[in-house]
Amino acid sequence: MSTMFQDSAGTVPVAAPGQTVGLMLDKSRGLVKGANVAAAGPTTVFAPWVSLGGGRYSIDGSQTSYQSLYYEGILEVGATYEVTFTVESTTGAIRIASQLNSIDLTGTGEKKAHLVAAAGNFNIQAPPGVVATIEVGEVRKVPGNHLTQPTASKRPIYGVVPKGGRRNLLAYSKELTLARWPSAGTSASFDPSDITAPDGSKTAVRAISGGGGSDYLYRDAVASDGQIKSIYARTVSGTGTVGLLDFNGTPRSETSLTEEWQRFELPVNTADTGGANFYLVDFRVGTLGEVLIWGPQLEEGSEATPYQRVGNQYDVTERGVETLHYLYFDGVDDELAASRPLPFSTELFSAIGFRLDSYNNTFPNMLSNRGASTGAGRRHPLIYARQSNPTSLVLDIEDTPLILTLSSELPGRDIVMGGGFGSGQIFAEADGVSQSAPGAVPTELDTDPFKISGGNRFEGRFYGAAQVNKVPPASKQAALRRWLNRKSGVTL
């Protein structure tokens, strides 16, 4: 997550699954920043800014327009720079700018942002009337071709999932609270517990009856026939009985508990009263007024599988199973675009790891360097899936598509796909199958910035991508494919 930020300026790091991504830094060059190009200080200090010495500057608020600490010719146009400085005091936002590209930073303390240079000049600016004291810091180039999305509503969402995919269908299994699992009857409740859960953590909770023998904790209408419910439960002390998992008709069944953790399973039968509901605990039956519970799970099939913790739809993990990290694109308008064009050559090599969840468009694009999906004279690499053929992957360049047909339908599968245009090859790898095919070598390529989910949008997960302007030797191609396979969960 250290290379992802919620905003395109790179001021708010991505800290948890479910947050949007406005900037993803390119790691291919190690994120080794360049020299401080602002070390000499401002070229011009425009009044009413004044120098206080030691790199500190103040402005008294008498300005009627934006006024700058101006650095002339220190930036490379199109490059991304990490800017750091300290705001000691201020009555408003302080702006950093390179011509029309600007970022407003509020509050005091150390400030850090990523700015794409629109010109060679750099400015630290105070708006009209703002009184401030700052200490100038560093401006360092961050090499690479970074992906950004300035529009908040068009940003993909960061998520995690166990290798092999999600099985627990519950919307929330980690957070056992009344907000997620409402109480019915006489106000049952949850309370944290310091008793160790089955996985060794301290995440088990106490479910406590509100008294009166008519309360229960549940989720309404979440289960279907062909599924199975499961939960871990035990007593706080001693032994006793309580209702678990299902209303299950009248008289309702009781489950015997001890001080040892046990996992209880129940196939879904929607013909039963309340059969489509998931009852964590039902205090309407049994002798217990409180129990310890952990790990509720609802899944397809007739047998419960190892528990998966669900924080939300983008936060699913499983103990002992590798966690895959991805960006989820909504298939409507989500897109990430490179910060600058690549110097494409006719030997371009591209690869991407993805999971296509559905066909929302005629040609859902995964990777391209221009938005169009058809049209004469197109000279850019484009990877997409054909709606008319749910097993068809296409690598298209100069309107000459190279097509690979997989043995199973694409949606719901983790796939690595790409091609070395100069060597005239296309490849796809998915679920134990590796395929490749020859193709024509292009004669020319456009130099527009490449995009993830450009043009026609794709709905699904993006695990990683690589694009280089020279076909790597076979050993490096194999290493790249292995890297993407690990990121994407593809097992060959």
Domain CATH code at residue 131: 2.60.120
Instruction: Please choose, from the candidates 276, 295, 300, 290, the residue with its C-alpha nearest in 3D space to the C-alpha of residue 227.
Output: 300
Residue 316 lies in a domain: no
pLDDT of residue 445: 55
Q: Are 199 and 130 part of one and the same domain?
A: no
Nearest 5°: phi and psi at 488?
Answer: -95, -10
What are the residues facing 205 on neighbouring strands? 192, 293
Is cis: bond before 251, omega within 30 of 0? yes
The mean per-residue pLDDT over the stretch 230-251 comes to: 84
- The answer to whether residues 303 and 332 belong to one domain is no
Asked if 337 and 302 sit in the same domain, the reply is no
**Closest by CA position to 310, among listed 212, 96, 167:** 167
For residue 297, give its domain range.
Answer: 183-307
Q: Is the pLDDT of residue 478 over 70?
A: yes
Do 96 and 199 sit in the same domain of this protein?
no
- In this predicted model, what pLDDT tens digit does every residue of 150-182 receive, in sequence order? 999 999 999 999 998 899 999 999 988 888 888
Give the pLDDT confidence of 20-47 residue by residue, as tens digits.
999 999 888 888 999 999 999 999 999 9
The answer to whether residues 338 and 299 belong to one domain is no
Residue 163 lies in a domain: no
CB 143 within 8 A of CB 29: yes
pLDDT by residue (tens digit) across 447-461? 556 677 766 677 889
Can you say how many angstroms the Cα of residue 3 is from the centroid of all Cα atoms in its chain?
12
Q: Is 344 within a domain?
A: yes
In this structure, the answer to whether residues 341 and 287 fall within a common structural domain is no
The answer as to whether 478 is a domain residue is: yes
**Which of 257-261, 341-345, 392-396, 414-418 reaches the highest mean pLDDT?**
257-261
Are residue 347 and residue 446 in the same domain, yes or no?
A: yes
The answer to whether residue 219 sits within a structural domain is yes
Last residue of a domain, one of 278, 307, 336: 307
If 0-12 CB within 10 Å is exposed, 13-18 middle and 19+ buried, where does residue 445 land? Answer: buried
**Has residue 173 been placed in a domain?**
no
Element (H, E) at 203: none
Residue 154 phi/psi, 5-degree rounding, is: -110, 15
Give the pLDDT of residue 29.
Answer: 80
Tokens found for residue 221: 């209408």
pLDDT at 375: 47
Query: CA-to-CA distance for 309 and 315, rounded, in angstroms?
Result: 8
Lowest-pLDDT range, 4-13, 21-30, 332-341? Answer: 332-341
The number of C-alpha atoms within 13 Å of 355 and in the hemisphere containing its C-beta is: 25
Q: What is the pLDDT of residue 101?
A: 87
User: Strand 365-368's sheet: what is its strand order?
Assistant: 4-5, 23-24, 147-148, 336-338, 451-452, 365-368, 382-385, 392-397, 400-405
On whether residue 170 sits in a domain, the answer given is no
Q: What is the count of structural domains for the chain? A: 3
Residue 74 lies in a domain: yes
Q: Is 356 helix (H, G, I), strand (E, B) or coil?
A: strand
Query: Is the sign of the CA dihedral 216, 174, 255, 191 positive or negative?
Result: negative
Asked if residue 295 and residue 333 are part of one domain, the reply reads no
